[in-house]
Every structure is written in C-alpha cells, then in structure tokens.
Amino acid sequence: MTLPKFHIAVLMGGWSSERPVSLMSGNGVADALEARGHRVTRIDMGRDVALKLAEAAPDVVFNALHGCPGEDGTVQGMMDLMGLTYTHSGLATSVIAIDKELTKQSLVPHGIPMPGGRMVDSEELYTRDPLPRPYVLKPVNEGSSVGVAIVTEDGNHGNPISRDATGPWQEFPRLLAEPFIRGRELTTAVLGSPQGPAALMVTELKPKSGFYDFDAKYTDGLTEHVCPAEIPDDITRACKDIALRAHELLGCRGTSRSDFRWDDSQGVEGLFLLEVNTQPGMTPLSLVPEQARHCGMSYGELVEAIIGDALLCKAGIGEALLGKAGTGDASHTTGTADAPHIEVPAP
C-alpha cells in the first residue's frame, strides 16, 4: 500500500539514555519517508519541542523517541493537548507500559505469565538479598538493558551487595527484583492494521557472550538474530498469543514489541513476558523491521503502515487527513480501502 503524500514531523533524540538509538530510528524513518515522497521535518527534541511542533504544523507526527519523556506518556499528553495526530501508543498506555511493575499489575491478573518478584528500596540490598540468588535487579522505566544487574550465587557484587559495588543501586533509589529466568531470549512484534493488530514473528536473540546488555544490543555482530526462532511450534504460538494479548490489553497502537525469557527445560510453563516496548527500535536493522521484512513488508512499507494506523486510530481526523492529502481518489477518503494488509505467516 502507498499512503497519500503528507507532511510528517519525525520526533527523535531527546535526552534519555537511549538518545543515540532514537536518532538512528528517527533518521532511518525520515529517510524512508522522504524516499517515498513525503515532506519530512526532523525534530531533535529539546525543551522547546512544543514550539517546534507548532511551527512545523505537520499532518502527523512519527514518534521515534525511546525512553523518557518520549515513551512514558509525557510527550503523548503534550501532543494530545496540541491536537496533533501521532504514531504509536497514547498517554495512558505509555504510562503503564514504560513501568515494568505497572505492566505486571495490568497483565498478570489477565493470565499473562510474567516473572514474580517485588520492588525494593536500593538501601535494603546492602543488608540482605530480596530474593534467593540468582536474581535480577533493574530500574522500572529504563530501556536497552540500562541498569540491569544479574546477581548470582557466587557473590558477584558482594554478599550482601556492597555499597561500593558498581550497579544500578548506586543510581536508582528503588529497583525491581525478579527471579532470574535461565534459558533463552525471544521477542515478538505486533503491528496494527485496519484488520486489527497481528503478531509478526518470533526472533531469538543469541548474545555471543554474557547477557543481552546494551553493548550486545547495539554493537554489530555481538548478537545473532535467529528469525524465525528455531523453537517448538507451541512456544512460537504462545509468544505470538501473549504478545498480541498484551498489546490489546494495554491498548497499544501502531506497533509494540514484547520481550520474553524462555526456560527451555520447562516447556511452555517456562515462558515469561519481561516487558512490552511501546516505542521499539526502528533503525533499519532493528528487530521490528527485521520481522516485518520476513513477513514480506519493506522498511518503508512498515513506516507507512504505522502512520496509516495512527490516522485510522484518530478516526475522523485520520479520514479527513487522508481525504485532504489524497489525490482526489475516493479510496483515500475512506481510510480503509487503501489500507496496509499484513501477510502474517501461518503459525
């Protein structure tokens, strides 16, 4: 499908720890949109972002921000107030999904399997472990594995954890403690469409050494992506089912990506959702574009599909825009006749 030509502001950068990734996502998206004939305004978000958006007055904003405040509802609320149409999830969904503990509180009662554990004051860690080792400590609202520490039996970081040991306890006053799920690392993208959201594929991430940390995520060659993952059919089905249900329960829009750990000695009982990313990486080499490609959708088509979903979600406004920017072809005014159709391979 091809969208009519729009003026699209691509919001990127910002000041979160994921700024460099967001600049790559945003520039990749902007390049693809320009190549498809859209007018693009690139906005590297500073404190004057509202002014920049008001000056640009785009038809639609592509949100390519990662981390806070672009992924936690703040920027979404600002754009709601400004009456802007934007891609990806809205305010309430973003507030919940950015917070790994709130996500659990929202999803676990609906039967979505997530690791147990609890929030702890970092100060507590210097007297006793919150959970039996091995366990994981992580901030509730960072991304890209920033601040994730794995505390093992052999007393790495001290036993109990030492105040002087380098770790997230030095930076964050409260942390989420979770049992360490041994095994494998899986991820599944969900993409919205006029036919409803659909789960794309399951990718297995195989870090060459250590765990799936920041360097393993962003250094070329340090992590192997196996797509589709070489896992039993029931695990593939479970990942897709859980990712889709989580997307729907949280009210995600556009696209989301659910990260899993799978203890392969436990069958489907060993599968746990870790988090739902509402602003997943969108560099041309990122996981969501990679899964889309395996489903027959190019990077440019994926970017346009996410914009198409934003316009459709904004119901009346989307239809008006599709009509306004369209070529006069009646199909553009319906908002659905020319809609992206995702071919999702049979499970």
Ligand X SMILES: Nc1ncnc2c1ncn2[C@@H]1O[C@H](COP(=O)(O)OP(=O)(O)O)[C@@H](O)[C@H]1O
Binding partner at 181 among Mg ion, ligand X, none, C-beta below 5 to 8 Å by kind? ligand X
- Within the chain, residue ranges assigned H as helices are 19-35, 49-56, 74-82, 91-97, 100-107, 214-218, 233-250, 287-294, 299-313, 315-325, 330-334
The 3-class secondary structure across 218-283, one letter per residue, is HCCCCEEEECCCCCCHHHHHHHHHHHHHHHHHHCCCCEEEEEEEECCCCHHHHEEEEEEECCCCCC
**Binding to Mg ion (CB under 5 A): which residues in 7-36?**
none
Binding partner at 115 among Mg ion, ligand X, none, C-beta below 5 to 8 Å by kind? ligand X
Binding partner at 246 among ligand X, Mg ion, none, C-beta below 5 to 8 Å by kind? none
CB of 324 to ligand X, least distance (A): 38
CB of 259 to Mg ion, least distance (A): 4
Q: Tell me, residue by residue from 213 to 252, as one string, x for binding to Mg ion by CB under 5 A and - for no binding.
A: ----------------------------------------
Binding partner at 167 among Mg ion, ligand X, none, C-beta below 5 to 8 Å by kind? none
The order of strands in the sheet holding 174-179 is: 118-121, 174-179, 135-138, 149-151
Q: Which residue is nearest to Mg ion (CB)?
A: 259
Q: Which is nearer to ligand X, 247 or 261 (CB)?
A: 261
Tokens (6 digits) for 6: 């729009």
- DSSP annotation of 125 reads G
The answer to whether the bond into 232 is cis (omega within 30° of 0) is no
Count of chain residues binding Mg ion (CB under 5 A): 1
Binding partner at 285 among ligand X, Mg ion, none, C-beta below 5 to 8 Å by kind? none
CB of 182 to ligand X, least distance (A): 7
Q: Which is nearer to Mg ion, 259 or 304 (CB)?
A: 259
CB of 183 to ligand X, least distance (A): 8
Neighbours of 340 (CB within 10 A): 22
Question: 326 in the Ramachandran plot: left (φ > 0), alpha (ψ -120 to 50) or beta?
Answer: beta
Among the listed residues 59, 71, 185, 259, the single contact to Mg ion using CB under 5 A:
259
Binding positions for ligand X, rule: CB under 6 A:
115, 136, 138, 142-146, 148, 178, 180-181, 185, 211-212, 259, 261, 274-275
Q: Which is nearer to Mg ion, 30 or 229 (CB)?
A: 229
Q: Are 199 and 190 in contact (CB under 8 A)?
A: yes
Q: Are 325 and 8 in contact (CB under 8 A)?
A: no
What whole-number distance in Å separates Cα of residue 214 and Cα of residue 168? 14
Tokens (6 digits) for 290: 């990679």
What whole-number distance in Å separates Cα of residue 330 and Cα of residue 338? 10
Q: Is 121 helix (H, G, I), strand (E, B) or coil?
A: strand
Q: Which is nearer to ligand X, 38 or 184 (CB)?
A: 184
CB of 218 to Mg ion, least distance (A): 13
CB of 176 to ligand X, least distance (A): 9
Q: Which is nearer to Mg ion, 178 or 259 (CB)?
A: 259
Tokens (6 digits) for 135: 């366990």
Q: Which of 292, 287, 289, 257 is nearest to 275 (CA)?
A: 257
- Say whether residue 71 binds Mg ion (CB under 5 A): no
Q: Which is nearer to Mg ion, 281 or 318 (CB)?
A: 281
Binding partner at 140 among ligand X, Mg ion, none, C-beta below 5 to 8 Å by kind? none
Residues classed as catalytic? 18, 144, 218, 257, 259, 275, 277, 281
Residues in contact with Mg ion by the rule CB under 5 A:
259
